[in-house]
Structure 1
Amino acid sequence: MWWIVVAVAALAVGYWLLVRPHKYWLEKGVKQGNPGFIFGDNWGNVMRKQSFADMVVMVYNMCPKTRYSGFYQFLVPTLVLKDPELIKQITVKDFDHFVDHRTFIPEDSDPLWGKNLFALTGKKWREMRTTLSPAFTSSKMKYMFTLISQSGEQFVKYFLKKDEDLITVEMKDTFTRFTNDVIANTAFGVECDSLGERKNEFYMMGKDATDFSGFWKSMKFFGYFLIPSIFKFFKVTLFSKQVADFFTSLVKSNIQSREKHGIVRPDMIHLLLEARKNGLKHEETEPIQDTGFATVAESEINKNPKNMKAEITDQDITSQALIFFFAGFDSVSALMCFMSYELALNPDVQKRLAQEIDDTVEACNGKLTYEALLGMKYMDMVVSETLRKWPNAVAVDRVCTKPYTIEPKYPDESPVHLEKDAVVWLPIFALHRDPEHYPEPERFDPERFNDQNKVNIKPYTYLPFGSGPRNCIGSRFALLETKTLFFYILSHFEIVPVEKTQIPLVLSKKQFNLTAENGFWLGLKRRTRV
């Protein structure tokens, strides 16, 4: 009889550990779907039958006509926020209850990742964000524009040297080489030419740091989801030792050289060193002209001088420069890929943008200026619509840092009590594809963002860089970099489909980030001027 007792006990423990967690939202009176055993609503994504973006759309739509619904990341209950007013309430008005992102890799397991602005939590995050935010204002972007523009000119010259009327290019590889050079220059003070020197060390290390397509790297994320205590015990790191040592040594030697020789460059390391030495201050008034509609405003919370200034170590500088690189290398290059794809498939849009570029070239006598670039209205409309249809962040999370109650708004709702450490989700990709917010969401239409229409976009339905004080600190940089490069490309080339172009585009099921299944194969065709 003893084996019966053991079997019953095992079943009971198994139910408690693996089945009952998927009843969490039902017990709170929140609608949910039908999560799969252990994997929850991640089954299709884990088995590579569904892209991460498609999974976000699935969980967004599985409980229609609700302000929120529940789903499960493996065994972790997560609340999907679908109502714009509720998103505002949680990310802005009641931000003090939802300060943190979910921490995947503990700081003591991988300090290089754990100390970056995205991963920091609580007081440490507040101090670092307050310290760093002045480095990302409009005036600082103007400060770095020269370096970005130089990289844009270098990029175009590489293709102009080719004796071909139509150059077939895989855009993801090509744009990551550009973003690599920009980040190397503006964040690390290193000059690169990754198109000319295709296997330079900086590029190869950056590619290694940002590639999560491999089995083991994917398992690191899943491991911290499923068995975080074990992965923490063995201090499993996100970055390889080779990558960590390379960037740490690079930044340390760069800092020593600057301090020894009094070197000043208009880049991120200089700004961080200034913040360490004297602190940086927000300008009392920012210029009216900003980098575009998608730019997120810096919260007053992050400008508060009463917040203690963080002590910035060399490792802190390395971590911030690396996350800046991490975002720029992959996320910004993805934005460029999708924008080039949409321009190729919408030649009328491309023709109008090229005309605006020609007019701007003439107006500034052939030399692009910061002010001229930001004055290009149609350029901003095209970039804004690209971010609407293909947002860099498919979804972002917030962690409840102290108990919180979502009060009922409709008769079929009950109060939802969120405990400390509860996870909520902003399903950005799905919000941007909701026909109630954007009619014909699959259609690429920059006119959604013209002067007449953009004022009618419902607040908190357009979140390409997140929402509230914890939004993306680098939105201005991403927009400036993208606009600069396309200014130079379309000054000389037309972007066209080629035989290898995948139409319609299919999202990759093998990576978490937003990218095409078969790459972004397009052609650069030399423009003929009348």
Structure 2
Amino acid sequence: MFWLLIGLLLALFCWFNYKKLNYWASKGVNQKRVYLLYEIYKVLCMRKPFAEIVKDSYNDFPNSRYNGGFQFYRPVLVLRDSELIKQITVKDFEYFTDHMNFIPEGTEPLWTSNLFALKGDKWRDMRATLSPAFTGSKMRAMFALMSECAQEVSKYFENHPEEKKSIELKDFFTRYTNDIIATCAFGVQCNSIKQRKNEFYIMGKMATDFTGFWKNFKVILYVMMPKLCKVIGITFFDNKVSMFFRRIIKDTIKMREKNDITRPDMIHLLMEARKGRLNYEETSAAQEAGFATVKESEIGKTVKKVKDAITDDDITAQALIFFFAGFDTVATFMVLMAYELAVNPDIQERLQNEIDAVLEENDGKITYESINKMKYLDMVTSETLRKWPVAIGMDRVCVKTYTIPAVLPDEVPVTIQVGDVISVPVYGIHMDPKYYPNPVKFDPERFNDENKVNIKSQMYMPFGSGPRNCIGSRFALLEAKVVFVSLLSKFNIVPTEKSEIPLKLSNAGFSFNSKKGFWFALKQRD
């Protein structure tokens, strides 16, 4: 009887997984054959870089508008067609308002309360609350804080000539983004280049590190057994990380309210939002941060009174996701821009000529307005984000039953149920020669005035698409441009004997990483 029961349970387990692993095939959608143990193995051991896995999903069925795929033990519908992507992420957004969230509600308040994880009306209210914090006028106010951090970086290397002979760029840029986020989001000043083991940087590394077997194993547990994780108390963030950021926010708010301190950073803006005093200010085209900047939807522009009061934990959650999104991800963007400039010295020289001309026109100073008018700088950043998109892939979760009508001869109408996941393989799209000829070539001319008008919005999505795009695109672009203007005005970025050229992507983590690190040097300009 015992073995019969075991056999029955195994049969049910196999049947359930067979049904799940063939979810889209059963709906008449093209889908590769997948195996449970192999899918788990791929996530745990990362047999190839995550970006390549995303690109493979895009290339599996090149003649289809969409196909079935699998991500973290969940069936996903992979979209390939630009019009279909636009239809689902923009026009019919009301059917796909949420992100895939593998962390059970109630297990980690600092995660489930942030803008990325919030769902439905809670997300709409918080988006409308936070959007005014990322307009051009607010970026202008934060520009001075960013510029100060960038100048500190340049001064450090001018005063430490030996250190600039060999720099691991990922370490360097994560320290820079750490200091930017510390001052612009948390109101904390630190210098992570000088004080290499400051607490803010250590905690930031702990919060954003997703490399290694056990980190990946935790992700699988969350996806496959979220209720078990909630019961046994497995948390997304280390308790030290949660306690640290809660303390920082609580102490800062208390000090500012007591001493009536105003500072142009995110804590101040969120404190203003809590009082209902933060309004959306439309930004003129001249103030935009660049071609890659995403446009805010009417949802973000609509002033709404949040139904529930904004708590200190809510403020901490928004500041923490700002850190989570901007610490490693934006640093990686900067690293890869530096890499491309180093291996393409002609592009670097042309960019330096533009920087020198702007500095000469402005008596050696860079202003918020002048940095946003630098066309070639914007072309270089735009092409970096094309070749190395910040969002390697994006997802949407269906919240109302939706049907994709058949268009091609081999298609059948596909009904997407509530809870089904849509996946957009951004990296695969950006590397498609149909849209970007010779896609492995770094070519900023793709984004000159003549060419960029021909780029479809749904074929260029470094910061996502539709109302649920990245709220911080202006911030990310500005902090990158500020530090490169500061560095390139004084230094050339050059390869060393330790530089890995061409770059070989590491299998570790979910972003672009190098197997041997990004080792380059800064050479003082004449």
| TM bucket, shorter chain | over 0.9
C-alpha deviation, 1:11, in angstroms = 4.7
| Among 293, 296, 301, the residue aligned to 1:295 | 293
Partner of 2:165: 167
C-alpha deviation, 1:107, in angstroms = 3.3
Partner of 2:42: 44
Partner of 2:428: 430
Contact 2:136 2:283 in 1 (8 A): no
| Among 270, 274, 279, the residue aligned to 2:277 | 279
| Among 389, 402, 422, the residue aligned to 1:404 | 402
SS in 1 for 2:167: strand
Partner of 2:502: 504
SS in 1 for 2:165: strand
| Among 138, 141, 160, the residue aligned to 2:139 | 141
Partner of 1:28: 27
C-alpha deviation, 1:169, in angstroms = 0.2
1:44-123 counterparts in 2 under 5 A?
Answer: 44-123=42-121
- Output the CA distance in 2 between the equivalents of 1:455 and 1:307: 38
- Output the CA distance in 2 between the equivalents of 1:74 and 1:260: 47
Taking structure 1 as reference, are residues 259 and 155 closer, same or farther at Cα in structure 2, changes over 3 Å only? same
- Output the CA distance in 1 between the equivalents of 2:294 and 2:106: 31
Q: Which amino acid aligns with 2:240?
A: Q
| Among 323, 327, 349, the residue aligned to 1:329 | 327
C-alpha deviation, 1:10, in angstroms = 4.1
C-alpha deviation, 1:8, in angstroms = 5.4
For structure 1, which segment, 113-122 or 69-78, has the greater mean C-alpha deviation from structure 2 after superposition? 69-78
Contact 1:112 1:244 in 2 (8 A): yes
**How big is each residue's C-alpha offset from its partner over 1:338-375, in whole Å with a ceiling of 9 and x where there is no partner?**
00000000011000001001001101111110011001
C-alpha deviation, 1:220, in angstroms = 1.7
Normalised by the length of structure 1, the TM-score is: 0.96
Contact 1:128 1:309 in 2 (8 A): no
C-alpha deviation, 1:106, in angstroms = 2.5
- Output the CA distance in 1 between the equivalents of 2:162 and 2:201: 26
- Output the CA distance in 2 between the equivalents of 1:165 and 1:349: 25
Contact 1:167 1:524 in 2 (8 A): yes
For structure 1, which segment, 328-337 or 274-283, has the greater mean C-alpha deviation from structure 2 after superposition? 274-283
Contact 2:44 2:216 in 1 (8 A): no
**How big is each residue's C-alpha offset from its partner over 1:33-61, in whole Å with a ceiling of 9 and x where there is no partner?**
12123444x64343221111010011111
| Among 450, 457, 472, the residue aligned to 2:470 | 472
Q: CA RMSD in A?
A: 1.6
- Output the CA distance in 2 between the equivalents of 1:6 and 1:522: 61
**How big is each residue's C-alpha offset from its partner over 1:210-269, in whole Å with a ceiling of 9 and x where there is no partner?**
111133322221111122221122232111111111110011000000000000111110
C-alpha deviation, 1:289, in angstroms = 2.8
**How big is each residue's C-alpha offset from its partner over 1:60-82, in whole Å with a ceiling of 9 and x where there is no partner?**
11112110000122542100011
**How big is each residue's C-alpha offset from its partner over 1:356-404, in whole Å with a ceiling of 9 and x where there is no partner?**
0100110111111001100100000000000000011111110001111
Q: Which amino acid aligns with 1:264?
A: T
Q: Which amino acid aligns with 2:25?
A: L
- Output the CA distance in 1 between the equivalents of 2:43 and 2:284: 43
- Asked if 1:227 is matched to 2:225, the reply is yes
C-alpha deviation, 1:517, in angstroms = 1.6
| Among 444, 447, 450, the residue aligned to 1:446 | 444
- Output the CA distance in 2 between the equivalents of 1:401 and 1:39: 30
C-alpha deviation, 1:12, in angstroms = 2.5
Taking structure 1 as reference, are residues 321 and 308 closer, same or farther at Cα in structure 2, changes over 3 Å only? closer
- Output the CA distance in 2 between the equivalents of 1:306 and 1:181: 32
C-alpha deviation, 1:277, in angstroms = 1.0
Partner of 1:18: 17
Q: Which amino acid aligns with 1:29?
A: G
1:151-230 counterparts in 2 under 5 A?
Answer: 151-164=149-162, 167-230=165-228
**How big is each residue's C-alpha offset from its partner over 1:127-148, in whole Å with a ceiling of 9 and x where there is no partner?**
1001000110011100110000
Detail structure 1 runs of 4+ shifted over 4 Å in the superposition. Answer: 2-8, 306-310
Q: Which amino acid aligns with 1:22?
A: L
Contact 2:137 2:283 in 1 (8 A): no
- Output the CA distance in 1 between the equivalents of 2:224 and 2:512: 23
- Sequence identity percentage: 54
Contact 2:104 2:226 in 1 (8 A): no
Q: Which amino acid aligns with 2:35?
A: G
- Output the CA distance in 2 between the equivalents of 1:7 and 1:217: 31
- Output the CA distance in 2 between the equivalents of 1:329 and 1:306: 29
- Output the CA distance in 2 between the equivalents of 1:97 and 1:327: 25
Q: Which runs of 5+ in 2 are unaligned?
A: none
Taking structure 1 as reference, are residues 229 and 165 closer, same or farther at Cα in structure 2, changes over 3 Å only? closer
- Output the CA distance in 2 between the equivalents of 1:12 and 1:166: 62
- Output the CA distance in 1 between the equivalents of 2:236 and 2:128: 26
- Output the CA distance in 2 between the equivalents of 1:258 and 1:11: 60
C-alpha deviation, 1:411, in angstroms = 1.5
- Output the CA distance in 1 between the equivalents of 2:125 and 2:390: 26
C-alpha deviation, 1:503, in angstroms = 1.3
Partner of 1:269: 267
- Output the CA distance in 1 between the equivalents of 2:3 and 2:242: 52
SS in 2 for 1:194: coil
C-alpha deviation, 1:309, in angstroms = 5.7
Partner of 1:420: 418
Q: Which runs of 5+ in 1 are unaligned?
A: none
**How big is each residue's C-alpha offset from its partner over 1:299-357, in whole Å with a ceiling of 9 and x where there is no partner?**
01222236756521111111111111111111110000000000000011000001001
Partner of 2:453: 455
1:473-488 counterparts in 2 under 5 A?
Answer: 473-488=471-486
SS in 2 for 1:31: coil
**How big is each residue's C-alpha offset from its partner over 1:124-182, in whole Å with a ceiling of 9 and x where there is no partner?**
11110010001100111001100000000001000000234962100000011111111
Contact 2:135 2:283 in 1 (8 A): no
- Output the CA distance in 2 between the equivalents of 1:35 and 1:285: 47
C-alpha deviation, 1:19, in angstroms = 2.0
1:304-343 counterparts in 2 under 5 A?
Answer: 304-305=302-303, 308=306, 311-343=309-341
Contact 1:407 1:415 in 2 (8 A): yes
